[in-house]
Amino acid sequence: MKKFFLTFITFFNTFLLFFLCLEIIKIRWQFSQEYENNAYLKVANNKLIEINFNLKTEFYHLSSPAKVERHAKEILNMIEISKVTTINYEE
C-alpha cells in the first residue's frame, strides 16, 4: 500500500511538473509576442510623428501670408493699391 501511494505521488508530481513547464512555455511565448507588438507600435508611432510633422509644415507653408499674397497676385490677378483715388459723382 505504501509503495502504491509513493508511486501515485511520484506520477502526480511528474504530471504537475509537466503542466507547469507547459504553462511557463506559454507565458514566455506571450511575453515574446508582447515585446514584438511593442516594437511594432513604437515604429508605427514614429511614422505617425513624422507624418504629423510633415502635415504641420505643409499647413504652415500653405497658410503663410506670402503664399496667400502670391496666390492673389498671380492666379486671381489682383493688384496692390498704391494710391488712393476718390471719385466724386456729380448729378
Cα within 13 Å of Cα(66), Cβ side: 2
CA distance 49 to 56: 11
Helix (H), strand (E) at residue 35 = helix 2-62
80: amino acid identity, one letter: E
- Each residue of 6-46: pLDDT tens digit? 999 999 999 999 999 999 999 999 999 999 999 999 999 99
- Each residue of 32-81: pLDDT tens digit? 999 999 999 999 999 999 999 999 999 998 888 888 888 888 888 777 77
DSSP class of residue 75? T
Cα within 13 Å of Cα(22), Cβ side: 6
- Please state whether the predicted TM-score (pTM) of the whole model is above 0.75: no
